[in-house]
Amino acid sequence: MIDDLTVGLSTQLTTVGGSASTAFGATYAGVDGLSVSFGKGKSEGVANTSGDQTIMKASYVIGSITASASHNQMDHTTNTNDQEVTSYGLSYTVSDAISLSYGEETIDRALQVKDIEVKGYSASYTTGGMTISLAQKQADHTDHTTVTSDNEMWKLALSLAF
């Protein structure tokens, strides 16, 4: 086998209810700082329904910066269930105590008026056994329509380890 390549395979044989699934995936991490993954699965359901899912992701670390991207596509026999999710992330470790991150995600569902768009920021500070973190997330068009369905969340957290 190739060094730094991990491969997985799974299967579920047909059940009493008539469903079965198969999937495989591979991750390659042979380039310093780079990790690339690919996975594909198929699910056969009852009443002639099935779905194919493909997932691709990559991340690259250089020094204290990590960049990542992923794409997840689901094709279903019922077209209204087709969906694509695309995500990006960037994190920066300022020091052993401070880290910052930013991420975006778009969810595109078949036959919907608008895509769901999510953006978020976070920061954390750790000293000794204490970590304090702050996060802000915003999600637009959470019901896939042009109707105002935007949400915003702030989170302040404190954790202590004894």
The model's confidence at residue 17, banded by pLDDT at 50, 70 and 90, is low
DSSP H helical ranges for 20-135: none
pLDDT digits (tens, 9 = 90+) for 50-85: 889 999 999 999 999 999 999 999 988 877 778 899
Q: E strand or H helix at 66, and its extent?
A: strand 65-76
What pTM value is reported for the model?
Answer: 0.80
Residue 120 neighbours by CB under 8 Å, 6+ apart: 102, 103, 104, 135, 136, 137, 138
Q: Name the residue ranges covered by the structural domains of the chain.
A: 1-54, 63-162
- For residue 107, which of 72, 78, 137 has the smallest C-alpha distance? 72
Q: Find the mean pLDDT for residues 95-112.
A: 94
Confidence of residue 123 (pLDDT cuts 50, 70, 90): very high
Give CA–CA dist 16/19, Å, rounded. Answer: 8
CB 28 within 8 A of CB 50: no
